[in-house]
Amino acid sequence: MHCKARLPIEALDQGPFLFSFITVFFIFFSLPGISSGRIYIDINAPSVQKFQIAIPDFKNLSGQNQCSDVAAKLLSVVSSDLDFSGLFSIIGKKAYLVDQGADLTAENIRFKDWSAIGAELLLLGNYSCLGGKLEIEARLFDAFSGQQILGKRVVGDRAHYRYLVHRLSNEIVLKLTGHPGIFLTKIAFVSSSRGNKEVYTSDYDGYNVRQITKDYSITLLPRLSPDRKKITYTSYKEGEPVLYLRNLGSGGIKRLSGGPGINSGASWAPDGDHVALTISKKGNPDIYTIDLNGRVTDRLTTYEGIDVSPSYSPDGKRIAFVSDRSGSPQIYVLDVGSGKTARLTYNGKYSTSPSWSSLNRIAFASIVGGRLDIFTIDANGGQAIRLTNNQGKNEDPCWSPDGRYIMFSSNRSGRYNLYIMNANGQNQRKIQSLSGNQTSPSWVP
């Protein structure tokens, strides 16, 4: 595959995400590159061919063996990011024909030595440390033509090197596809690593874990708000299932819905001003909406059976949910304005946990042939596509903010861990995990 460079994108200059609760100082510089208008990877194609990319060790410019341990860390993070994207195949170091830590200037690079081992792309980097600060420079080249595709320099806090490298990885994916990467996104999930089921948050890849709840009980179904400043979850710490709202900045907790019976399965509306959830105060579990003060604003279903697990559409005009009105649990779609409901799934005897993507597909878990697997279906109906098969129990799907990846929980390795896969089911990978079981992921920008 031959790559031609295109116009350099503008450097980003945004502060650190509030969600991470850290102070990171960084500066991005766009470095010169050859321009053309081409997007290199069409991620909307049914099957995306992976780029063969070589990533030698980043060269340490600090001198006197200062921060020599950083090189391996930088290489590990950027390689993991690009691998998780499903767009790249990393060429192993044993195949390299030249020494590590090459010069970043194109005229000093022997591109034939890289193209000879099958590399289509070459990512070179160097770094230097000064006190607690870290400066990283990276350049991406077409290994066949020798043209520079991307050049970036970032300066930040050495302790937050992962954050800085994630930004570089995002820039690489944006340059090659026209779409930002997922590497700065955040997740919430439930883990039993300390004995009880508690809510945790982390980076998309499972690093930088933070424990949110310490209820010493059972917590379920955490859902991050669209602005990442709040989180809802259901806890049994009072004996019954109660929906709580927590401010991630201040740590303040509010009892959002705690009437008799079920109060769970909250789904944030796109505007972040209210949530849909299951409440059983009238006897049967039905879908309601409430504002952030806990006031019921609407009752959306009135079926004398089970209606649970709501999930908003990207425009907030429809809600997918689970109902047994057909005799077995299946996925239905409700038009919020008209109140009309249509059945969406017909596969298997049990379908649950719908999650609506920004690209208008719905992921769900379903039992087919005795196995619990992840499927997707167009939100307007059609044939469901099976994404997991014959690899343990797979459940709790949720979409990446861009709608191009799915995170889910699976016990294929014995205990439940969180996995990421492309929207077509390819490139299934386990993320960094705690001890115990990890379930119920929620994913936001």
Q: What does the pLDDT read at residue 16?
A: 36
Our CA angle for 112, 118, 123, nearest 5°, is 75
Cα separation, 387 vs 140, in Å, equals 33
User: First CA to last CA across the chain, in angstroms?
Assistant: 31
Structure tokens at 233: 């979850």
User: What predicted TM-score, i.e. pTM, was given to this entire model?
Assistant: 0.88
What does residue 345 show for φ and ψ, rounded to 5 degrees?
A: -110, 145
Structure tokens at 390: 């014959």
Domain with CATH 3.40.50.10070 in the chain: 18-177
Query: Which pLDDT tens digits describe the chain residue by residue (445 residues)?
Result: 434 333 232 333 333 333 333 334 445 455 554 444 455 666 665 566 889 999 999 999 987 678 888 999 999 999 999 999 999 999 999 999 887 555 777 778 899 999 999 999 999 999 999 889 999 999 999 999 999 999 999 999 999 999 999 999 999 999 999 988 999 999 999 999 999 999 999 999 999 999 999 999 999 999 999 998 999 999 999 999 999 999 999 999 999 998 888 999 899 999 999 999 999 976 789 999 999 999 999 999 998 889 999 999 999 999 999 999 989 999 999 999 999 999 999 988 899 999 999 999 999 999 998 999 999 999 999 999 999 998 999 999 999 999 999 999 999 999 999 999 999 999 999 999 899 999 999 998 7
Which positions ≥6 away from 239 have C-beta within 8 Å?
none
Domain with CATH 2.120.10.30 in the chain: 186-444
Please, which residues bridge with residue 322 across strands? 308, 331
Cα separation, 83 vs 90, in Å, equals 7
Structure tokens at 421: 């896969």
Cα separation, 181 vs 174, in Å, equals 6
Cα separation, 316 vs 319, in Å, equals 7
Q: What does the pLDDT read at residue 47?
A: 60
- CATH pick for 186-444 out of 2.120.10.30, 2.40.50.100, 3.90.180.10, 3.40.50.300: 2.120.10.30
Q: What does the pLDDT read at residue 67?
A: 86
Structure tokens at 4: 């031609």
Q: What does the pLDDT read at residue 102?
A: 59
Rg value, the chain, Cα: 24
Cα separation, 375 vs 43, in Å, equals 20
Q: Let me know: does 353 contact 365? Beta carbons within 8 Å.
A: yes
Q: Let me know: does 344 contact 334? Beta carbons within 8 Å.
A: no
Distances (CA, A) of 308 to 44, 200, 265, 295, 331: 32, 24, 7, 19, 10
What's the CATH class of domain 18-177? alpha beta
Structure tokens at 335: 């038009």
Q: What does the pLDDT read at residue 108?
A: 82
H or E element in which residue 86 lies: none
Q: What does the pLDDT read at residue 193?
A: 93
Cα separation, 181 vs 414, in Å, equals 30
Cα atoms found within 13 Å of the Cα of residue 25, Cβ hemisphere only: 6
